[in-house]
Chains A and B, each alone.
Chain A
Amino acid sequence: MRTFFRVINSIFFTVALIAAAFCGYMVYSVMHYPQAEHDAEIADIKSQTEKTKTDTTAALEEGEERLAFLQADLRNLGDEGVELADRGESLQTEVEAKQLRLAELEANVALGEDMPGSVEKARKAYADKIRELEEKVQNGETSVRICYWTLDDGPTYITKNFLDALDEMGEHVHVTFFTANEANNSPDEEEMLRREMTSGHSVQNHSYVHSTLASGSVYRSTESFREQVQQQDDWVYSVTGFHPTIFRFPGGYHSWGKDLLPGALDVLEEMGYKWIDWNCNLYDAGAEENLPTSSLEVTRALTQIPEEPIAVMLGHDWNMNTLVAMKTAIPRLMKQGYVFLPLFPESVTMGMNAKR
């Protein structure tokens, strides 16, 4: 019995020791589990992952940058790229210059093939643009104001001075000459007509003899009226190569033509003419003793014109005071926003009856 217990207990004791050792070892293992080490190891892997991801983003960006660099400039594509870029640039410059040269040549050739036709096309395009501007002015859509400065009865012996003065005022100051062959005579009248044309002014019809009196009057009959208009038309055409298209009645339609020759407008319409009076007046024609001083003309110009968004000023290029007044008034009016354009039959002012 005793031995039995002794043996059993020895065995149990050994087993108990082993079990305790096992238990102790396990408890120890759990208590001292290297959690921190494992955590650190995993954290290390994770940080490596994060770093790799950051590296990947950077690598992708760099890849994009390298592609963008290649696309940005042909010169970034090595020697051949540089060569092609240089060649391309010089070719481009040459081609552009040659395109301009060709366009100019073609325009000139077209002009040469039909000189009056090409000029008329250019005039029409210009006149249409002026018409657009007039409409904008009338609708209050622009601060620009238009003045048609007209000079009647030339060319005269001082028309040259008027043209010189206009040239001095700037390349965009243009007027309209209502010419009448026999109203005034000067040796250079044909040259002046052509210079009026080549300076970009408008050359129009003011009848051939400009007589409103007695037997030689423009308004004696519709026949004589037609003859007067046609004669001046022929003369201008023979000298300039262009037919006038606007008629100004000697003395004005409102004061002379309307009453003296009721059928005049029909005649003009038949002849394909437009007509115009004025809404501003320098009153610079008449008996010599009654002619205004240049300063009075300036005053008239500076008081009348600003009242009209589109002004049509009546003046005469045989009056020296008018030349002086014009030199003063036009630059001042330009500062007020007025532009000085030539009159064409496309203008909204056609048929304008004078207020003054």
Chain B
Amino acid sequence: MSLFKKRKAFDEEEYVEAAEDERDEDEIDEQDPEREEGESEERETENVRKTESEVDDEDEDDEDEEDEKPRRKKKKKGFPVGSLIFMFLLVGVILAAGYFGMEYYEQLHALNEQYDAAREEASAELAAAQAEYAEADPDAPSNVAVREELTEKLLAEAREKVEALESEEAELDASISENEEAMHEIEGKEGFDYYKAIYDEYVEGREYVEDLLSGD
């Protein structure tokens, strides 16, 4: 294949697309002249191509006269609707994914917060319970101190009681020896045994009657 033909095959494809783009841009250009600047380079390239094509066209004018018409038609429907749809689709996907992503992110966040709060609450309760245990522990220094204090108090009471008993015993001893001396004289008294026997009978008798009284 000659170079020309190769180019021609290439142009047939490229040109349609380029023309499509050009017309599209022209339309936009009319409305938005500012964009022209950025695209001038591209347009220049296209112009070069166009010029080349025109030259080709002139050479083949006779024979390609009839092919010109479908090629123009092709140029007219060159706008990338698919891309636009695809773009909207992508935007939709982004928005949807973003929306749902955020929704779920919030859910996740809420769950995390909820569990953090629950964990914190449970931990606080545990800490409180542990503090209570530390206080209740019988081996805790404060409790040991309480027992030691009690022991000391009880021992002090017992010491006092023993002392009281000792002094009571001493008093009793003194009274007993005093009374024993008195008894010594009394026992020598005439008739003591006689009166004592009657006295004892009456005391026993009274006790007997008291039992009878409380018996019913």
Contact = CB atoms under 8 A, between A and B. Distances in A.
Residue picked from B86, B115, B195, B204, most chain A C-beta under 10 Å? B195
Interface residues of A, number: 94
B90 A16 contact: yes
A129 B101 contact: no
Interface of B: 17, 21, 24-25, 79-80, 83-84, 86-87, 90-91, 93-94, 96-98, 100-105, 107-108, 111, 115, 118-119, 122-123, 125-126, 129-130, 132-133, 136-138, 143, 146-147, 150-151, 154-155, 158-159, 161-162, 165-166, 168-169, 172-173, 175-176, 179-180, 182-183, 185-187, 189, 191-192, 194-199, 201-206, 208-210, 212-213, 215-216
Interface in A31-77: 33, 35, 38, 41-42, 45-46, 48-49, 52-53, 55-56, 59-60, 62-63, 66-67, 70-71, 74, 77
A169 interface: no
A271 interface: no
Interface stretch (A88-96, A180-188, A229-237): A88-96
A158 interface: no
A209 interface: no
B90 A109 contact: no
A8 interface: yes
Nearest to B169: A95
Given A112-B186, A119-B198, A123-B202, A5 B80 contact: yes
B97 A23 contact: yes
A6 interface: yes
Which 8 pairs between the two chains have the least Cβ-Cβ distance?
A112-B186, A200-B201, A26-B104, A23-B101, A19-B97, A5-B83, A12-B90, A105-B179
B196 A108 contact: yes
12 contacts: A5-B84, A26-B103, A42-B118, A42-B122, A45-B122, A84-B162, A85-B158, A88-B158, A88-B165, A105-B176, A119-B195, A199-B201
Contacts of A71: 150, 154
Residue picked from B136, B176, B191, B209, most chain A C-beta under 10 Å? B209
B209 A23 contact: no
A81 B165 CA distance: 16
Interface stretch (A137-145, A214-222, A260-268, A291-299): A137-145
A177 to B, nearest CB: 14
A12 B87 contact: yes
A68 to B, nearest CB: 10
A171 B198 CA distance: 13
A232 B20 CA distance: 172
Nearest to A92: B165
A116 to B, nearest CB: 7
B136 A56 contact: yes
Interface in A288-332: none
A98 B155 contact: no
B201 to A, nearest CB: 3
Interface SS, B side: helix
B109 to A, nearest CB: 10
Interface string A330-344: 000000000101100
A339 B213 CA distance: 12
A130 B207 CA distance: 11
B213 A115 contact: no
Contacts of A81: 151, 154-155, 158
A57 B112 CA distance: 34
B169 A98 contact: yes
Contacts of A20: 93, 97
B158 to A, nearest CB: 4
Nearest to A106: B179
B162 A88 contact: yes
A118 interface: yes
A258 interface: no
B136 A102 contact: no
